[in-house]
A and B are shown apart, each in its own frame.
Chain A
Amino acid sequence: MSANPDTYTAFLTAQDARYAAERRWRRERMGGWLVAGGTAVVLAALLVIPLFLILSLLPWSPLPAGTWERLGVLLAGSVKAATCAVLVAVPIGLATAAFNAHFCAPRLRGWIKPAMEVLEAIPTVVLGLVAVAALAPWLKTNVATLLALIVIVPALLLAAGMAFGTQLRGQRGWLPLWLLPAVLAVTAAIIHIAAQRDGALIIPDSPWNAALVGLALGLAAVPLVFSIAEDALMLIPATQTQAALALGATRWQALMSIVLPAARPGLIAAIVLGASRCIGETMIVLMASGNTPLADPDPLSGLRTLSAELALGLPEAAPRGDTYRVLLLAALVLFGLTFALNVLAERARAALRRRSDAGVGAA
């Protein structure tokens, strides 16, 4: 065909059209292959983690004596740190999620969620720094103050709620903003009063202890617990709450007897994922736990976790040496533990999703 560009379109033949269609088809197939290939790489990369950990321990040769005892101590340390953190993160995270999903004024809700996301975005190394540089020196002499705070602040909140809750019910949606200065003031007052006394009532074994780790790690896990629990609570159809209110229940009764039971799998998932996150977290325990490899259930003594052992030991271990293999085994244990928890949580969430889909269908 003569190649005069001005007349080109006028002389399009069936042949050209076929070529164009073929080109288009080739491009289509190539795009499909690129997408499938990229996905294959991703899948391979994700599956390589467990495969690598298992294969690198093969061919199996006996590990040095005392390996299992050491792993046991590290595992106990991980569990101890995670338990302390979960005790902090779960009550605060679940309570905040319940308030946010059920009572919160919509405009305030638009602020609490981003605030939680900002908290989640703070790198854990920074929380570790705060724990070790600011919190540890205070906690060293103030364990009793901390216990007092844990008891007095909720008790005061309950008492205040009893006294003023009914009159201020109209303001309930904005309550956190009113309580924010009050909580800060009460906390500051208790800390100030405690600082007047000389000497500590309870002296921890070590300034870097599980209680300190629990506070920092718990703070790191609060946003995760919050967001998963809130998602679960939001999945419960509003019609169910409205039905309960129409039958004469208070909002609190609707929450306790309708919403929470319906969302239970999601709340369990939130707790389990929070625990999983705490077990695997490295920087906070590395900085604030003292890294003492002793199994000791006392929350005021130090600990050493699987993750901290990996971070401290692996850079120095010679490849394929005994230490290296023990550390890989530790990584495998850590992986298996968190993976099992994640699978458990995913199942619970899937069950919740199925159930709520059915609920929407019925409504």
Chain B
Amino acid sequence: MRRGAAGDAGTWLLAGAAAACLATMLMVLLLLGRAGLAPFWPAHIAELQLADGRGVLGEIVAKSKDTLVVRTTERDRIGSGYVRLAYDDVVAETRPPDAFVIALADGRRLFGRGDAAAASALLQGISASSAVEETFWPNASGLMARAGIFMRHAGRFLATSSSASAAVGGALPALVGTVTLVLLMSLIVMPFGIATAVYLHERRGVTAGLVRSAIGNLAGVPSIVYGVLGLGLFVHGFGANIDRLLYSAHQPVPTFGSGGLLWAALTLALLTLPVVVISVEEGLARIPASLRAGSLALGATRGETMWRLLLPAARPAVLTGLILAIARAAGAVAPLMLVGVVKLAPALPVDGEFPYLHPSRQFMHLGFAVYDAALASPDAVRGVPRAYAFALLLVGVVIALNLTAIVLRNRLRERYRALEV
């Protein structure tokens, strides 16, 4: 055997593992992109001729080895129009160009054939208690027209405020809930995180050692345990007492005594503290010691040096810490399930009513929407694509934030390379 052949084989195995990592990541992102955008693309309407002479008009939503599921007109409620057919029963499948679909605001879809007059006639025949969102003819539409419909659907998903049930309606409440939550969390975590990092940077002692080991060891505590703390201490402890003292008129209906935005933000702030402290402290430690020594030598106090020189120089590190904290918080769903996230909130946590931000309100969240749509949806055929759409939005937000952090970190390095000359 040639010298080192076994070693080469081993290297290939290691490289294969690296390749498998990259491949899995690409596959997951591709799957998310495809499955997350598919719900907005207008599907063809199929007309199936059955062996017994009946015709079925609708969208084919699932195919297995010997059966297929077709969504036909939902006459009375959402999810009532599914038909399962055996392949053997289907004689012919066509895509009639005059087939249209009417989307109702309550999520139902009606299928028919003909022109606009036929569409309104179909609508007359059905107990349409709901407003018509749109009518379109997907089979007759060209690629550009379908892309237009796709954009319209995606835009509506992003911008629709709220609806009567969690199975329909857009992502806006969940998006607003997520953004409000992480912003509130950032406002809480940043001052404390920076103060702690400064303390750790300036002091070497028993207390600093204790803080350091607490942060190091608690960084790995599971997020659900933080949720337990949030529920037990914040909601049932602080919240119940605030209610007793300030909102006794509302008793026994809880105001702060049930999960809400404030408690969720506090819980997430605790969860993300280590990220911020470690990142800011690293940034402070990277600043050349000569800078600090020079400032002190010119007569500035330690506080002035920190405030005017070191913290501004560490600004990119502070930003990186903030972004990583936001990314971690946006992805943390488990603790929220204990401290106030709901599948359908009656009102947004921010609105035009004084005091504009309502910290005691329950809220919706993109991550929880993924969980809810995937597992708790009564209509799995609609639920899973919706879950993918929410997931794509969430991953988009989180990855964009992380990439920003990575770019900032690289800039930071460039900056100190310049400083050291």
Contacts and interface: CB of A to CB of B under 8 A. Distances in A.
Interface of A: 24, 27-28, 31-32, 34-39, 41-43, 45-49, 52-53, 56, 91-92, 95-96, 98-100, 103-104, 112, 114-119, 121-130, 132-134, 153-154, 157-162, 165-166, 169, 172, 175-177, 179-180, 182-184, 187, 219, 222, 226, 250-253, 256, 273, 276-277, 279-283, 286-287, 307, 310-311, 314-315, 319, 327-328, 331, 334-335, 338-339, 341-343, 345-346
A39 B211 contact: yes
Contacts of B17: 91-92, 95-96, 99
Contacts of B199: 35-36, 38-39
The A interface, classified by DSSP as helix, strand, loop or mixed, is: helix
Interface stretch (B72-80, B113-121, B162-170, B213-221): B213-221
Given A53-B228, A123-B398, A180 B236 contact: no
Contacts of A343: 217
A35 B12 CA distance: 52
B371 A154 contact: no
B264 interface: no
A280 B221 contact: yes
Contacts of A328: 228, 232
Contacts of B200: 39
Interface centre among A129, A311, A346 (most CB of B within 10 A): A129
A28 B302 contact: yes
A154 B222 contact: no
A361 B8 CA distance: 33
Contact of A287 (B31, B32, B304, B374): B374
B218 A157 contact: no
5 contacts: A96-B14, A121-B401, A128-B371, A154-B16, A182-B19
Interface centre among B11, B331, B387, B391 (most CB of A within 10 A): B11
Interface of B: 2-25, 28, 31-32, 35, 191-196, 198-200, 202, 207, 210-211, 213-229, 231-233, 236, 270, 273, 277, 301-304, 306-307, 327, 330-334, 337-338, 367-368, 370-371, 374-375, 384, 387-388, 391, 394-395, 398-399, 401-403, 406
Give 4 nearest A-B pairs by CB, closest first. Answer: A280-B222, A165-B8, A38-B195, A252-B7
Contact of A160 (B12, B226, B228): B12
B223 A154 contact: no
B247 to A, nearest CB: 17
A12 B78 CA distance: 82
Contacts of B403: 114, 118
A282 B222 contact: yes
B411 to A, nearest CB: 14
A315 B337 contact: yes
Given A96-B18, A315-B337, A43 B270 contact: no
A121 B7 contact: no
Nearest to A305: B224
A277 B371 contact: no
Nearest to A114: B406
B367 A125 contact: yes
Contact of B195 (A34, A153, A319): A34
Nearest to A330: B228
B225 A183 contact: no
Interface centre among A34, A38, A286 (most CB of B within 10 A): A38
